[in-house]
């Protein structure tokens, strides 16, 4: 937006300051948001570590339960200690969250997700005790961890969705999708282990398996689209070719078109190779987290430098106007001020536009959540059942989950 132009008019300096002070306020506001984002990014990094620890614990608990308590009891015990340590860090970061009100409803949504996660974490010791006592099946314990991890990912999602800086939002979208993709890989590890251990596969197993493969590939594609090329390179280079080949080979047994009997002995081989892959993904996650941290620091430093420049200019302005032109600024200064006001407005507008583009990647998930909510409300389904229903429609019609969700939403009036 340009200032009413055409005529050059003298402008009072005492009122002018108040206009310029809003320029400074806009910049300070940006800096404050960036500082909040830096804290949120730290939280996301720690959550990534907790999810990784829980994924390992889930895997170990599965094997422990499947072997009737014979295998991996010690490893599980060690892993539990690590989980507790990282959980304490996550709780610390939650406590440090600034609970001051913010525009846009993001604060409330984030806190509501945190409340859910804390509630679930509080129940974790009880679940562990039941695993100790072999009172849960591998499927039950898997489902439990899947939902806890989904809750943690929902916190990361809100963080990505609330970021006001497009570059940081982009990095958070990459991070969220990588974490979600890794979680699908973890679920595939558990699912495949159970399938091999059962010694057979059928069409339902195949469909669910393929669905997990496709889900993780879709997430990783978003990660590749939104990440720095250097990180994508590191991701491609860091994957063990041998482990990947072995995973593909085993997938062919488990979810290939043939099906039928599975070699039970391949269960360990499957688990180990999947674990290698998960650990490689963990390394990439650390890179993404470090990149996010560096990005926040760079952006804050840059915004502070720009604020300093702006303030130097404003100081010059107030000196010059009081000395030479007490009644107002000359046409030249007037044009510099106008340029500054316009540049800032345009820069913020461009940021907002870019943000909208970046967030489009988050919309798929929102559509699925909305469709789920609709099914829960209209058909009195639990969240799990609503998700299952969508997923099964997607699988049986060979369509993407998000397309089914869109269809469901467009049929809202009929439900």
For its own copies, the binding residues in 163-192 under the rule CB under 8 A are 163-165
- The piece of 176-184, 196-204, 205-213, 337-345 that touches its own copies (CB under 8 A) is 337-345
- The piece of 149-157, 191-199, 258-266, 283-291 that touches its own copies (CB under 8 A) is 149-157
Which residue, 263 or 353, is less far from its own copies as judged by CB?
Answer: 353
By CB under 8 A, is residue 104 in contact with its own copies?
A: yes
By CB under 8 A, is residue 157 in contact with its own copies?
A: no
Name which position in 53, 66, 148, 156 contacts its own copies (CB under 8 A): 148
Q: How far is the CB of 36 from its own copies (least distance, A)?
A: 6
Which residue, 147 or 282, is less far from its own copies as judged by CB?
Answer: 147
Using CB under 8 A as the binding rule, the residues of this chain from 364 to 383 that contact its own copies are 366, 369-370, 373, 376, 382-383
Q: Exposure string (b/e) for 109-119, b if CB count within 10 Å is 16 or more?
A: bbeebbebbee
By CB under 8 A, is residue 121 in contact with its own copies?
A: yes
Site string for its own copies, 279-298 (x = CB under 8 A): --------------------
By CB under 8 A, is residue 213 in contact with its own copies?
A: no
By CB under 8 A, is residue 4 in contact with its own copies?
A: yes
Q: How far is the CB of 162 from its own copies (least distance, A)?
A: 5
By CB under 8 A, is residue 234 in contact with its own copies?
A: no
By CB under 8 A, is residue 412 in contact with its own copies?
A: no
Q: How far is the CB of 101 from its own copies (least distance, A)?
A: 2
Which residue, 169 or 267, is less far from its own copies as judged by CB?
Answer: 169
Name which position in 27, 49, 182, 218 contacts its own copies (CB under 8 A): 27
By CB under 8 A, is residue 333 in contact with its own copies?
A: no
- The piece of 139-147, 188-196, 260-268, 284-292 that touches its own copies (CB under 8 A) is 139-147
- C-alpha 186/C-alpha 321 separation (Å) is 65
Q: How far is the CB of 176 from its own copies (least distance, A)?
A: 16
- The piece of 49-57, 76-84, 232-240, 350-358 that touches its own copies (CB under 8 A) is 350-358
């Amino acid at each position: 937006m340009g200032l009413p132009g055409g005529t050059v008019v003298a402008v009072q300096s005492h009122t002018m300051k108040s206009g310029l002070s809003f320029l400074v306020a806009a910049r300070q506001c940006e800096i404050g948001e960036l500082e909040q984002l830096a804290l949120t990014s730290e939280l996301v990094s720690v959550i990534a570590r907790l999810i990784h620890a829980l994924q390992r614990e889930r895997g170990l608990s599965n094997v422990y339960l499947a072997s009737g308590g014979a295998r991996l009891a010690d490893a599980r015990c060690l892993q539990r200690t690590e989980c507790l340590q990282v959980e304490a860090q996550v709780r610390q970061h939650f406590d440090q969250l600034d609970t001051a009100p913010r525009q846009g409803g993001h604060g409330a949504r984030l806190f509501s997700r945190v409340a859910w996660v804390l509630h679930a974490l509080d129940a974790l010791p009880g679940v562990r005790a039941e695993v100790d006592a072999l009172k849960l099946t591998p499927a039950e314990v898997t489902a439990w961890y899947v939902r806890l991890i989904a809750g943690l990912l929902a916190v990361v999602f809100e963080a990505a969705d609330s970021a006001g800086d497009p570059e940081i939002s982009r990095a958070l979208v990459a991070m969220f999708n990588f974490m979600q993709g890794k979680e699908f890989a973890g679920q595939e590890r558990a699912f495949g282990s159970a399938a091999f251990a059962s010694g057979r596969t059928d069409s339902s197993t195949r469909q669910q398996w393929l669905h997990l493969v496709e889900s993780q590939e879709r997430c990783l594609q978003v990660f590749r689209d939104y990440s720095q090329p250097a990180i994508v390179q590191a991701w491609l280079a860091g994957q063990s070719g041998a482990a990947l080949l072995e995973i593909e080979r085993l997938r062919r047994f488990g979810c290939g078109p043939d099906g039928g009997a599975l070699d039970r002995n391949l269960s360990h081989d499957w688990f180990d190779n999947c674990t290698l892959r998960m650990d490689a993904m963990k390394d990439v996650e650390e890179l993404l987290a470090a990149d996010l941290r560096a990005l926040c620091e760079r952006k804050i430093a840059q915004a502070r430098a720009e604020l300093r420049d702006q303030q130097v200019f404003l100081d010059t302005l107030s000196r010059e106007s009081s000395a030479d032109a007490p009644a107002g600024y000359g046409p030249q200064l007037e044009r510099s001020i106008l340029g500054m006001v316009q540049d800032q407005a345009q820069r913020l507008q461009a940021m907002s536009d870019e943000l909208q583009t970046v967030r489009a990647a988050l919309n798929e998930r929102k559509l699925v959540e909305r469709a789920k909510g609709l099914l829960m409300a209209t058909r009195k389904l639990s969240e799990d059942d609503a998700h299952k229903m969508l997923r099964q429609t997607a699988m049986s019609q060979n369509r993407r989950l998000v397309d089914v969700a869109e269809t469901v939403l467009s049929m809202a009036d009929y439900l």
